[in-house]
Chain A
Amino acid sequence: MTTRANISSAMSLLKRFEWRQNIIYIGFIAVFILFAVLLGDSGFTNPNNLLNIFRQTATISIMAVAMTYVIAAAEIDLSIGSVAGLSSVITAMTLNSYGLIPGILAGLLVGVIAGAISGGLVALLKVPSFLVTLGMLGLVVGVARWITESAPVPIADMNYIAIFGGGEFGPIPSLLIWVVFAVSLGALVMNKTKFGRHVRATGGNLVAAGYTGVKTAQVKFTVLLLSGVVAAFAGMLYAGRLQSGRFQWGTGDELSVIAAVILGGTSLFGGRGQVVGSLFGALFIGLINNGLILAGLDVSQQQVVRGAIIILAVALSRKK
C-alpha cells in the first residue's frame, strides 16, 4: 500500500517536473563529468582551475541575476556590456583623481543614469526595450571611447582591487563572495517578495497584471534601472580584476548573459524567472570555455564550438 502510494506520488512528481526549467542542472552535471573524464589529465578537475572558472564567469553571473528580472518582465537589456565598460572607465578615472569612495559612487552612477534613461523610455513612452537598449549600447560605448581616447586607465588603489575582484578573504576570492551574495539576494527577492512576484506577473500577462493593480510601468522601470546598476557594478569588478578601466571590458557580454539566463530556464517570453538557474547557465558557459581551452582549441575554433553548444542548449531548454 505505502510503496504504491510512494510510487504514485513519485510519478506525479515526475509528471510535474519542469523539463525546460531544470535541464540546465542536468546539462551542467553531464558536461562537468564529460570534461572531468576527457580532460582530467589536462588539469580540469584541479581545484584552482575550478575556482578560476568561477572567477572568470563572476561578472557574467552577476549581470545574469539582474537580466533574469529584465527577461522575467518580458523586456531585454542589450546595453549591459557597454555600461560595464563605461563604468570601469569612470570608476578608474574618478578613483585616480578623488579617491576610493567617489570612484565607487561615480561608477554606480553610470548604471543609474543609463538604467533610468532606458527604463524611463520603456515605461513611460512604451518604446520597445530592444530598441532603446540597442541605442544605449552604441551611445555608451561611444562615450567611453571618447573620454578615454580609447586608451586603458590603470588603477593603482590596492584597497579597491582587493574589494572588487582582485583580492581574497582568507582562501575565498572576493569575486566568489560577490557572486554568492548577488545570487542569494536575487533568488530571495524573486521568489519571496512582492516585487519579484510582480515582475513575473508583468511579464506573464501585462494586461492582467495591470488590471489586478500591479504597477507595471514602475516594474519595467525598476528592472531596467536595476540591470543598469548591476552592469555598472560588474564593470567595477572588471576594473578590479584587470586593474584598469577600459571601454572594451564587458564588450559582447550581453549575449553571454542572455544565453545564461535562457539556459537557466527563464522564458524569453517573460513570466518566469530562475535566478539560481541563471547562475548555473553562466557557469555552464564558463565550463565550456574552460574545457575548450584545455582541449587545446584555438580562439576561432572555441567560438564556433561555443556558439553551437549554446544554440543546442537553448533549443533543448525550450522544448516543452
Chain B
Amino acid sequence: MSSAPSPAIEMRGIEKSFGANPVLENVDFSVSVGEVHALAGENGAGKSTLMKILQGVYQKDKGEIFVSGSAVEITDTFAARKAGIGMVFQEFSLIPTLTVAQNIFLTNEPTRVGLIDDAKAKKLARGIFQEMEVDIDPERIVEYLSTALWQLTEIAKALAQNAKVLILDEPTASLAKHEAEALFALIQRLKAKGIAVIYISHRMDEIYRIADRITVLRDGSRVLTANLKDVTPAQIVEAIVGRQAAAHLVHQDRSAKISQQVALEVENLSAGPKLQNVSLQVRKGEIVGLAGLMGSGRTELVNTLFGILKPSSGKIKINGKELSIASPEEAIKNKIALIPEDRRAQGLVLDHPVSENLTLPLLDRLKKFGLLSNKKILQRSKEIIKQFAIKAAYPTIRVGSLSGGNQQKVVIGKWLGTNPEILMMDEPTAGVDIGTKSEILDLVRKIADDGKSIILISSELPELLSVSDRILVLKDGRVAKSLNRSEIPNEEFLQLAIQGAA
C-alpha cells in the first residue's frame, strides 16, 4: 500500500453491537479512487453490517467515516447517498411496478413546473446507459427485466445519484457466464472513471480477476488486508475460515465405496429443446457431478428426473426397472429426492418453524390416531437437526431467521429425512459461506458412503472436483463429455471442457 492513491472512503475503528452481541470490533476499511476492493468473510462475519453502516441503514456505535478525506456522519440512507455511496443490493432494491427510468430517478425525479418530467428522466437514463455501454429500454417495467438487466439498472441508479463508491454485494450470484463477463467489463470502465468499487463475493476466481485489494473479516474483526498480487488463494481461505485449512476442497478417492450395482439408468432422455438424448448411469454410492454453462441443460435434466418436466422420449430405469415419472410425487415414491436451486422459493416455507419445514415430506409417518402428533414432529426434527448440525436455537424457530447456510442444511435435512436412494442437488452451496460449504460437501460424501447415489450440480468447479467420482459435461442439452475424476488433472482442464474447446 506504498503508493496508495487518495481514499474515496475510509472507515476507522468501527464498532457495532446488537444488544450484547458485538458484531464489529475495531474494523478499519478503506477503498481508493478507481480501486476495486474485495470484501470477504463467512456469513455472519460482519460484512453486511459494515456495509449497512456505510449506507446509513445501521448506525455505528464507535469509529469514524471519511469521504474523500473529510469526516462525515452517516445518519440515514439519505446522508449516505449525499456522500456519494451507492449500493447494489444482493436482495434487489428496485420497485418492480415502476419503469426503469422511474426507478433510476426515484426520490430524485426531474420536474417541470412542479410536475415530474418523465420525458427528461427517460433521456437522462438513456445517457447513463450509453455511458455504461449497455442497452436497456428506460420505459420497460422493471418486473419484466432479466436479473442481469435488473442489476445494471441498479448500477445506473447509483450512478445517476453521482455515486463515487459502488457497493456490489454478490453481484454474479444469479448471472449467467456472459452476463457476468459484461458486468466485469463494466466494472473496469467504472474504475477507469475513478469510481471506487467495494466488491463482496465468496468466489475466489472473480476476486482475483477484478479486485485490486482484499479485506477479510472474521467474527467481526479485520483479519487480512492485502494487495491481491501479494496473497495466495490458500492464504485468503485460511483468513476466512480460520486455521482449519480448506481440506474440504481436496479430492478424496472413493472408488472403493462405489458398488457395481447401477441405481439409476437414463437412456436417450429428451425433454423440450433444452434436453436432448441424454444417457447416463449412476451406481450405488457414486457421486456424479454435472458441469456446464448456464442453460446447458443441467437443471432441466434433474427436473425431468424428478417429474417436474415431462420427457418427450427416452427411458428412466431405477434398479433395472423401467419407470415413468410424471410428477414429483411419483419421484418421491420411487425414492428420488431433489434439492432445488432456489431454496427460498422452492425449498422452504420461510415463515414456518424449522420443525415444520423438516417434517413436511414425512407427515404421513408422524401421526397418532390418524392425527398429526406434535410430539413426534418435534422428536423427528430434533434428530435431523442433530444429524446435520443445523444451528437453530430451538426446533420451532422460524427458518427465515437462520443464516443462509443453515437454511440450506434444513432443505437437505428435509429431503434426506425421506430416505431417498437417489439424491439430486442443484447448486447446494450457492450463497453459502465457506464453513457451511465444507460441512455440506462432507455431508454429500457421507451420504454417498451410506450407499446412496448422488447427482450434484455446481458452478463452482473446485467444489465439483473435490466431491465428484465422475463428471458429466453438458452442452446445449447434450452430454458433451463423461469423465472419470482421475481423468481430470486440474480445474483448467475441466473449464476448457465446459467452454467446449473441443
Give residues of chain B (139-179) contacting chain A, Cβ–Cβ below 8 Å: 157
B112 — nearest CB in chain A belongs to which residue?
A192
Q: Which single member of A191, A192, A197, A267 contacts B106 (CB below 8 Å)? A: A197
Instruction: For the complex, give the distance between the alpha carbons of A211 and B52 in Å.
Output: 10
A208 touches B94 (CB 8 A): yes
Q: Which one of A143-151, A198-206, A285-293 contacts B?
A: A198-206
Q: How far is the CB of A320 from chain B (nearest CB, A)?
A: 11
Q: Smallest CB-CB separation from A194: which chain B residue?
A: B109
Shortest beta-carbon distance from A135 to chain B in Å: 25
Binary flags per residue of B104-127, CB closer than 8 Å to A gives 1, else 0:
001101010011100000000000
Given that A197-B116, A205-B93 are known contacts, is A213 also in contact with B98, CB under 8 Å in the complex? no
- Contact assessment for A213 and B107 in the assembled complex, using a CB-CB cutoff below 8 Å: yes
Q: A211-B55, A212-B77 are in contact. Are A271 and B96 (CB under 8 A)?
A: yes
Question: Which bracket fits the contact residues of B?
Answer: 20 to 34
A271 and B157 alpha carbons, distance in the complex (Å)? 19
Point out the residues of chain B lying under 8 angstroms from A138, CB to CB. Answer: none
**Cβ < 8 Å to B, chain A residues 181-201:** 188, 191-194, 197-198, 200-201
A220: Cβ under 8 A from any B Cβ: no
CB-nearest residue of chain A to B105: A197
Which residues of chain B are near A241, meaning CB under 8 Å?
none
Across the interface, do B107 and A205 meet the contact criterion of CB distance under 8 Å? no
Interface of B is mostly: loop
B386 to chain A minimum Cβ distance, whole angstroms, is 35
Q: Which residues does chain B contribute within 8 Å of A267, judged by CB atoms?
A: 97
A272 at the B interface (CB under 8 A):
yes
Which of A193, A201, A210 touches B98 (beta carbons < 8 Å)?
Answer: A201
A270 to B96, CA, bound (A): 10
* A194 vs B114: C-alpha distance when bound (angstroms): 9
User: Cβ of A211 and Cβ of B96 under 8 Å apart?
Assistant: no
In whole angstroms, what is the CA distance A192 to B114 when docked? 9
Contact, CB under 8 Å: A214 / B106: yes
Given A212-B106, A213-B78: A205 in contact with B95 (beta carbons within 8 A): yes
Check A209 for interface membership: any CB of B closer than 8 A.
Answer: yes
**Chain A residue with the shortest CB-CB distance to B142:** A204
Contact A198 B107 (CB under 8 A): yes
Count of inter-chain pairs, beta carbons less than 8 A: 68
Instruction: Give complex CA distance A210, B52 in Å.
Output: 13
Chain B residue with the shortest CB-CB distance to A188: B115
Contact: A209 with B77, CB < 8 Å?
A: no
Q: For the complex formed, measure the closest distance between the CB of A204 and the CB atoms of chain B, giving whole angstroms.
A: 4
In the complex, how many angstroms separate the beta carbon of A147 from the nearest chain B beta carbon? 41
Query: Bound complex: CA of A18 vs CA of B337, how far in Å?
Result: 39
A208 touches B116 (CB 8 A): no
- Would you call B394 an interface residue if the criterion is a C-beta within 8 Å of the partner chain's C-beta atoms? no
Max chain B C-beta neighbours (<10 A), residue from A191, A198, A205, A207? A205
A204-B96 contact, Cβ under 8 Å, with A211-B87, A213-B77: yes
Chain A residue numbers with a CB within 8 Å of B94 are 205, 208
- Chain A residues near B436: list those with CB within 8 A: none
Q: Which residues of B contact A203 (CB under 8 A)?
A: 97
**Using Cβ atoms and an 8 Å threshold, which residues of chain B touch A200?**
95, 97-98
- A193/B93 in contact, CB under 8 A: no
Please give, as numbers and ranges, the residues of chain A lying within 8 Å of B87 by CB-CB distance.
211
Task: Check B81 for interface membership: any CB of A closer than 8 A.
Answer: yes
Contact B92 A271 (CB under 8 A): no
Report Cα–Cα, A214/B106, bound state, in Å.
8
* B95 touching A201, Cβ below 8 Å: yes
Distance between A180 CB and nearest chain B CB, rounded to angstroms: 19
Known: A192-B116, A193-B116, A194-B116. A214 touches B107 (CB 8 A): yes
Cross-chain contact A205 with B96 (CB below 8 angstroms) = yes
Q: Which of the residues A188, A198, A207, A271 comes within 8 Å of B93, measured between beta carbons?
A: A207
Q: Which residues of A contact B107 (CB under 8 A)?
A: 194, 198, 212-214
In whole angstroms, how far apart are the Cα atoms of A211 and B57 in the complex? 8
B466-490 with Cβ < 8 A to chain A: none
Q: A188: which B residues are within 8 A, CB to CB?
A: 115
What residues of chain A lie closer than 8 Å to B102, measured between beta carbons?
197
A213 to B93, CA, bound (A): 12
Question: In the complex the two chains form, what is the Cα distance from A124 to B89 in whole Å?
Answer: 26
Q: Which residues of A contact B95 (CB under 8 A)?
A: 200-201, 204-205, 208-209, 271
Q: Are B89 and A211 in contact (CB under 8 A)?
A: yes
A211 proximity list for chain B (CB < 8 A): 55, 57, 77, 87, 89, 93
The contact string, 1 if C-beta is below 8 Å from chain B, for chain A 198-235, is 10110111011111111000000000000000000000
- CB-based nearest B residue for A189: B115
- Structural contact, A204 and B89, CB atoms closer than 8 A: no
For residue A194, which residues in chain B have a CB less than 8 angstroms away from its CB? 107, 109, 111, 116
A14 to chain B, nearest CB (A): 15
Q: How far is the CA of A287 from the CA of B109 in the complex (A)?
A: 39
A93-150 interface (Cβ within 8 A of B): none
Interface membership of chain A positions 51-62, coded 1 if the CB is closer than 8 angstroms to chain B and 0 otherwise:
000000000000
- Inside 8 A of A197's CB, which chain B residues have their CB? 98, 102, 106, 109, 116
| 8 A-B interface contacts by CB (under 8 A) | A194-B109, A197-B98, A200-B95, A200-B98, A201-B95, A208-B92, A213-B77, A271-B97
The 7 closest A-B CB pairs, nearest first, are A271-B97, A204-B95, A208-B93, A204-B97, A192-B115, A213-B107, A201-B95
Instruction: Give A residues with C-beta under 8 Å from B.
Output: 188, 191-194, 197-198, 200-201, 203-205, 207-214, 267, 270-272
User: A193-B116, A208-B93 known; 15 other A-B pairs, CB under 8 Å?
Assistant: A193-B115, A197-B102, A197-B106, A200-B95, A200-B97, A201-B95, A201-B106, A204-B98, A209-B106, A210-B77, A211-B55, A211-B89, A213-B77, A267-B97, A270-B97
